Amino acid sequence: GALIATRWRSTLEGAHVYTVDASDPGALALTGETLMPRQEGLDSDTDNSGVLGFLDALAPSPDGGRVVIPALKANVVTGRFRTGEDLTSQTTARAALGEVLIGAPHALARDSFRHSFDDLDRASAGVFSPLGDRLFLAMMGAQVVVVVDGFDFFSVASIDGVGEAPQGLALSPDGRTLYVHAFLSRSVRVYDVSSLSREPTLVGEIPTTATEPLAPDVLEGKRIFFRSRDPRMSRTSYLSCASCHLDGESDGLSWDFTQRGEGVRDTISLRGRAGAAPLHWSANFDEVQDFEHDIRSAQGGEGFLDDAPFDEAPLGAPKAGRSAELDALAAYVTSLSAHGESPETADAATVARGEAVFRAAGCDACHTGPEYTDSAFVDGAPLVHDVGTLGPASGGRLGGPLPGLDTPSLRGLWRSAPYLHDGSAPTLRAVLLDRNPDDRHGVTSSLSEDALADLEDFLRAL
């Protein structure tokens, strides 16, 4: 009689779980929201602080009394600016799960438990055994299924090499056969799990596509993007590009990258940007292949380049053409050229009024052209602006001063909150007013309520 739904992205406060009374299917009623708060003070080689994110794989127990939520725990607590402690490859993110208890249909779900996993990235799917005594969990980038006790969540068995990016699990009604959907292997793999005293055996594989929709280099790049088990990508399978940019999206979180010579930075969605340089808020990369620097430092990976070209600065000689893997990764990121349709539709008259306000306020001085950005290199240097949003948390750029920020595209604003480089504006209204007191980020202080509403509707409809 109850529905449990999650907010896919977490916030800096934690993960959000919603309870809906479904005892009367004709009159669904929101019972309320449960916050699974962020955890602090847990950083070690076996756990980290943070919030549970990318919540899209709820696993109900057979008795209906609880729901386990596989996730990735993102450490947006720790950092040199925030806590005085640096993130490491072992304390940045890891696989974790949460549990909520379900009472009567009208009762709010209760946050009950959290469990972290060692040497594994995001938990992407889960399914209970028929009796509820075992829980099967897929670890997306590590390409492993871990079997845990259904109550204390400690590991009892595992299946290695289940395919590229497993994101779905199912058990036969008798609990003896496990189906693993490895979506980047384009197959469902079938395992005999009747006995867990030895590693379960692969007994079949079912293709899921007749014709591959992606070009070979894009498909390989997408696999590399998700693959944390490759030691060149990550130390001990903790991190991949998908840890923050699952499916090319943003995790909606702001990270403390001060130790990287940067500052607090909100995760930018890769969708719609097509890998265009300059990259990042501070324009510190000029090609996707420069992510080799993040792979080797923050992720603890061995890297995909020889040492000689890697030693060159991010804005130095091109890295393109020096690593087949990095070139494939760039091909995938470049393929992400569509922002998606905005569900925040507005009538033509409202959009026209909002666009007129946008131009009158001078927003189009930087947010120009079809992508609403002037992002570019001019005479070899990135074009950046200081619009009054920099502060103590903004840090630097490549270890030096931060003169300004790259202009982000305004397309896709409907799904990219929180806003600004440090995630300090939870809403568009906060961008326009609260974080723009001196009108350096568009002349908005004198706008009427109606004009502000039209401007927000125009921006959300892009």
Convert 295-335 into a string of H (helix), E (strand) and C (coil).
HHCCCCCCCCCCHHHHCCCCCCCCCCCCCHHHHHHHHHHHH
Give CA–CA dist 451/447, Å, rounded. 6
Q: Given this model, what pLDDT does residue 106 score? A: 79
Residue 384 is encoded by which pair of tokens?
């950046």
Is 186 within 8 Å of 206 (Cβ atoms)? no
The answer for 264, left when phi > 0, alpha when psi is -120 to 50, beta otherwise, is beta
Q: Given this model, what pLDDT does residue 160 score? A: 97
Give CA–CA dist 253/271, Å, rounded. 16
Give CA–CA dist 346/459, Å, rounded. 10
Instruction: Compute CA distances 367 → 85, 286, 357, 413, 453, whole Å.
Output: 36, 20, 13, 13, 19
Residue with tokens 């931060």: 402
Which of 4, 36, 183 lies closest to 103 in space, CA to CA? Answer: 4
Which of 130, 196, 136, 133 lies closest to 162 in space, CA to CA? Answer: 136
Encode the chain (462 residues) as per-residue pLDDT tens digits: 889 999 999 999 999 999 999 889 899 999 999 999 999 999 999 999 999 999 999 999 999 999 999 999 999 999 999 999 999 999 999 999 999 999 877 788 999 999 999 999 999 999 999 999 999 999 999 999 999 999 999 999 999 999 999 999 999 999 999 999 999 999 999 999 999 999 999 999 999 999 999 999 999 999 999 999 999 999 999 999 999 999 999 999 999 999 999 999 999 999 999 999 999 999 999 999 999 999 999 999 999 998 877 777 788 889 999 999 999 999 999 999 999 999 988 899 999 999 999 999 999 999 999 999 999 999 989 999 999 999 999 999 999 999 999 999 999 999 999 999 999 999 999 999 999 999 999 999 999 999 999 999 999 999
Is 69 within 8 Å of 99 (Cβ atoms)? yes
Residue 375 Cα to chain centre, angstroms: 23
Q: Given this model, what pLDDT does residue 72 score? A: 98
Is 266 within 8 Å of 281 (Cβ atoms)? yes
How much is the pTM? 0.95
Which of 48, 191, 29 lies closest to 105 in space, CA to CA? Answer: 29
Q: Given this model, what pLDDT does residue 313 score? A: 76
Residue type, 448: S
Give CA–CA dist 166/143, Å, rounded. 6
Q: Given this model, what pLDDT does residue 4 score? A: 93
Q: What are phi and psi of 371, to 5 degrees?
A: -100, 0
Is 254 within 8 Å of 423 (Cβ atoms)? yes
Q: Given this model, what pLDDT does residue 107 score? A: 85
Q: Given this model, what pLDDT does residue 25 score? A: 87
Q: Label residue 370 exposed, middle or buried (CB < 10 Å: 0-12, 13-18, 19+).
A: exposed
Residue type, 216: P
Residue 374 is encoded by which pair of tokens?
């002037």
Give CA–CA dist 399/388, Å, rounded. 21
Give CA–CA dist 80/408, Å, rounded. 25
Q: Given this model, what pLDDT does residue 309 score? A: 72
Q: Write the CB contacts of 94 (distance below 8 Å, at least 6 apart in sequence).
A: 47, 48, 72, 73, 116, 117, 118, 120, 121, 238
Q: At what angle do helices 216-226 and 324-335 cross, to 10 degrees?
A: 100
Give CA–CA dist 337/273, Å, rounded. 6
The Cα angle at residue 252 between residues 230 and 401, in degrees rounded to 5:
85
Q: Given this model, what pLDDT does residue 20 score? A: 93
Give CA–CA dist 333/276, Å, rounded. 9
Q: Given this model, what pLDDT does residue 433 score? A: 96
Give CA–CA dist 109/101, Å, rounded. 5
One-character DSSP codes across 208-241: --SS--S-HHHHHHHHHHH--SSTTT-GGG---G
First to last CA, the chain: 39
Give CA–CA dist 288/367, Å, rounded. 23
Which of 165, 160, 169 lies closest to 186 in space, CA to CA? Answer: 165
Q: Write the CB contacts of 421 (distance below 8 Å, at least 6 apart in sequence).
A: 263, 264, 265, 266, 281, 389, 394, 405
- Name beta bridge partners: 17: 6, 34
Q: Given this model, what pLDDT does residue 2 score? A: 87
Length of the chain: 462
